[in-house]
Amino acid sequence: MRLSDLLLWLFTAAFFVFMLLPILVVVVISFTSAGYAAFPIPGWSLKWFARIFEYQPFIDSLWVSLELAVVSTVGSCVLGIPAALYLARSRSGWATAVTTFLLSPLSMPMIVIGFASLFFLSALGLGVSFLALAIVHTVICLPYVIRTVTAVYRGISPAYEEAAMILGASRFTTFREVTLPLIRPGIAAGCLFSFLTSFDNLPVSYFFGSAQTNTLPVVMLAYMEHQFDPSIAALSTLQLALAVVALVVADRLYGIEKMTVAT
Amino acid sequence: MKLNRRHFLGASAATGLAGLSGLPLRAQANTLNVTAYGGVWEQAIRDCFVAPFEAKTGATATVSLGGPAQWLAQVEANPENPPLDVLIMTPDLAVIAAEGDLMDEFTVEKLPNLADIPQEFTDACLGKGTYFDYGVGGITYNKQYVSEPPKGFAEFVERVSNGEFIASVPSISYGPTPVFFLWAMNNALGGTVDNVDPFFEAMAKMKDNLVFWAGPNDFFNHLASGEADLGIYFDGRTWNHVDEGVNWIDFINPEEGGAMTTVAVQKPKHASDLAWDYINEMLDPANQSKFADILNYGVTNKKVQYSEKLAARVPAMSDALLPPYAEIARVRNGWVDRWNREIGM
């Protein structure tokens, strides 16, 4: 093995250790028998996983987070896919401006979006509600769908759609039978990013939190500030497992390789 | 069942539609929206205040978990129809909320138990709220490494400066730092609200033997890992660790008096009048006594009788100093700016 290859291998190994070790420590702490978070752990136990199911706000907020992630992902697709299809083929200068505008939530601090949205939606009478939260989450998830669908659609030759229409297909049939199957990896990638972005979001959800609308990250933060046990580590481990399951499902349905090409 | 795209998308859409039921949260006639911090706090609020309130009034109280900045923003955004009826606040935000005319006036006519709360606690909220719970910032130490802990702030500074101990102190990113650390130590060293030179000079002397914590859990990790021997922390949090089985930790209220870190309760204007019944339960001596037992923090009703275990732990109100929160609010930004320039953490 050449020296440069060896150095590259060592650098890669060190990089993965640096990235994965903190996660591994959290996973190990979630199995501790101690009543506090410390590493190394004195013994093994599953009691902190049991604690998650005993503490009702964790369960209630988990359902809110899941519902919110699904609603905002669906909302992002409904709004984002047509926009992406139009903007990807448009040569107008306006299209670039509109695309930049739609992607702008990516470049704004989330806490600013959350704070401003609270006042804006309250002025519209939506106040602190699930509907308001879903609207803001849709806004922050929208760029992921637009980005991935646009990237895939730009890589597809217009000749496929033109051929379908020359052969007599209506616009809708062309979309359903030609365009949609071709852009599916982009939609899947956008949905995956949207779902995970919404599910993990704290700064926006924080401002819309109430007994009915608190999401899991908001409850985790509130819990962590005044409780010292390792149940947050156990919850983080479960969240990690959920993300892994989502990736496996996405891989089974669409193939991770196709989706990563889309991004 | 085989997982295919159609099943997956159908299930996702159904779940999404099920979630489209949320309308704006509004105060309802027989329901009160109250607030609580998470974890053990939330359970204590439910057991000690929500349960007696519901039993006496027949009304229902829903508990919103979160933090004062979040709740105050929600009330500011909806001042005519606040989504919350009772707020738990930090002392500085309680002053801001009172100054912004967002909160209702507290009187003994509305709250009979207010008569047994020291008047200075209501005055500190400009009459639009009062304190119901307090902790004290002091010196928490690892008994395995510190056999003779410093008795006060001045001795703390001297021994840390000499390199006898590595100390873990709060960073400026932790909200209460300017009051429970900066003001308290400065006051103990002879400074005033308008002269914080003694504090910054002490920090310069100690700088080689300090580590900073950004959140309370960091402090415990510093002590547990041996990164620090002692530090500035809260009494109640220390006792909570002890009750969880950490037998190597102990707390000292500095002889100059630690800063009283209080929790205020306030009622937004236009919130339900049922809130007065709930707040009165929060100020009730029996309910407060139960609350103190769960949280290991002091409470403010003068008639409260602490259990034997707690009586040995909770510093008397006379042994702690009530920071001048309104005065501190006036100069706080300048302190933070100076901290950023001279300390940086």
B19 CB neighbours in chain A (<8 A) are: 67-68, 70-71, 130, 134
* CB pairs < 8 Å spanning A and B: 158
Mutate to test the interface with B, among A138, A226, A229 (most CBs of B within 10 A): A226
Q: Is the C-alpha dihedral spanning B109, B114, B118, B124 positive or negative? A: negative
Asked if the Cβ–Cβ distance from B39 to A132 is below 8 Å, we say: no
Mutate to test the interface with B, among A120, A122, A131 (most CBs of B within 10 A): A122
Q: What letter does residue A33 receive in the DSSP assignment? A: S
**Tens-digit pLDDT profile for residues A22-53:** 899 999 999 998 877 777 888 999 999 999 99
B244 CB neighbours in chain A (<8 A) are: 35-36, 228-229
Question: 33-62 in A: which are within 8 Å (CB) of B?
Answer: 34-38, 57
Nearest by CB to B13, from A57, A74, A252: name it: A74
Nearest chain A CA: its distance from B65 CA (Å): 7
Torsion of CA A153, A156, A159, A163, to 10 degrees: -70
Mutate to test the interface with A, among B25, B86, B220 (most CBs of A within 10 A): B25
Q: Which residues, in sequence order, are CB contacts of B20 under 8 Å at separation 6+?
A: A71, A130, A131, A134
Kindly state the percentage of chain A with pLDDT values over 70: 97
Please tell me the least confidently modeled range out of B47-56, B97-106, B304-313: B304-313
CA distance A123 to A247: 39
Task: Report helix, strand or coil for A228.
Answer: coil
Q: What share of chain A is helix, strand, coil (3-state, %, to 5)?
A: 80, 0, 20
Residue A74, CA atoms < 13 Å, CB-side half-sphere: 19
CA distance B19 to A66: 9
Q: What letter does residue B209 receive in the DSSP assignment? A: G
- Tell me the mean pLDDT in the region B68-80: 94
Nearest chain A CA: its distance from B24 CA (Å): 4
A124 CB neighbours in chain B (<8 A) are: none
Tell whether A225 is within 8 A of chain B (Cβ): yes
Q: What are the structural domains of chain B?
A: 31-134+261-321 (3.40.190.10), 135-260+325-342 (3.40.190.10)
Query: What CA–CA distances, in Å, run from B97 to B92, B93, B300?
Result: 9, 6, 21
Asked if the Cβ–Cβ distance from A209 to B22 is below 8 Å, we say: no
Nearest by CB to A71, from B19, B66, B81: name it: B19
Asked if the Cβ–Cβ distance from A74 to B84 is below 8 Å, we say: no
Residue in chain A nearest B5 by alpha carbon: A253
CA distance A77 to B222: 46
CA distance A135 to A214: 15
Residue in chain B nearest A217 by alpha carbon: B66
**Tens-digit pLDDT profile for residues B22-36:** 555 555 568 999 999
Q: Where are the beta strands (DSSP E) in chain A?
A: none
The distance from CA B228 to its chain's CA centroid, rounded to whole angstroms, is 24
CA distance B273 to B284: 18
Tell whether A244 is within 8 A of chain B (Cβ): no
Take residue B85 and report the two structure tokens written for it: 């009826």
- Run of H or E residues at A115: helix A110-123
Task: Report helix, strand or coil for B248.
Answer: coil
Residue in chain B nearest A65 by alpha carbon: B19
Please tell me the least confidently modeled range out of A67-76, B146-155, B211-220: B211-220
Residue B286 confidence class, pLDDT cut points 50, 70, 90: very high
Question: What average pLDDT is seen over chain A?
Answer: 90
CA distance A232 to A238: 10
> B79 and A227 in contact (C-beta within 8 Å)?
no
Asked if the Cβ–Cβ distance from B12 to A224 is below 8 Å, we say: no
Beta strand B87-89 with B60-65 is: unpaired
> A151 and A262 in contact (C-beta within 8 Å)?
yes
Question: 241-300 in B: which are within 8 Å (CB) of A?
Answer: 241, 244-246
Torsion of CA B139, B144, B148, B151, to 10 degrees: 10
Residue in chain B nearest A115 by alpha carbon: B73
Asked if the Cβ–Cβ distance from B38 to A34 is below 8 Å, we say: no
CA distance A130 to A132: 5
Task: Report helix, strand or coil for B60.
Answer: strand
Q: Tell me, what's the pLDDT at B18? A: 45
Return the CATH number of A55-262, one of 3.40.50.980, 3.50.50.60, 3.40.630.30, 1.10.3720.10: 1.10.3720.10
Asked if the Cβ–Cβ distance from B25 to A127 is below 8 Å, we say: yes
CA angle B166, B172, B178 (to 5 degrees): 100
Q: Where are the domains of chain A?
A: 55-262
Take residue A200 and report the two structure tokens written for it: 């993990």
- Run of H or E residues at A9: helix A3-29
Nearest chain B CA: its distance from A17 CA (Å): 21
Whether residue B160 is predicted with pLDDT greater than 50 in this model: the reply is: yes
Which has more pLDDT, A63 or B20? A63
Whether residue B153 is predicted with pLDDT greater than 90 in this model: the reply is: yes
Asked if the Cβ–Cβ distance from B66 to A209 is below 8 Å, we say: yes
Asked if the Cβ–Cβ distance from A126 to B8 is below 8 Å, we say: no
Q: Tell me, what's the pLDDT at B17? A: 45
Please state the pTM of the whole predicted model. 0.83
- Run of H or E residues at A256: helix A256-262
Q: Tell me, what's the pLDDT at A195? A: 93
**Tens-digit pLDDT profile for residues A232-263:** 899 999 988 988 888 888 788 777 776 665 54
Asked if the Cβ–Cβ distance from B64 to A210 is below 8 Å, we say: yes
Residue in chain B nearest A131 by alpha carbon: B22
Nearest chain B CA: its distance from A159 CA (Å): 27
Tell whether B14 is within 8 A of chain A (Cβ): no
Whether residue B311 is predicted with pLDDT greater than 50 in this model: the reply is: yes
Kindly state the percentage of chain B with pLDDT values over 70: 92
Query: What CA–CA distances, in Å, run from B303 to A20, A53, B25, B310?
Result: 54, 38, 37, 15
**Tens-digit pLDDT profile for residues A133-175:** 999 999 999 999 999 999 999 999 999 999 999 999 999 999 9
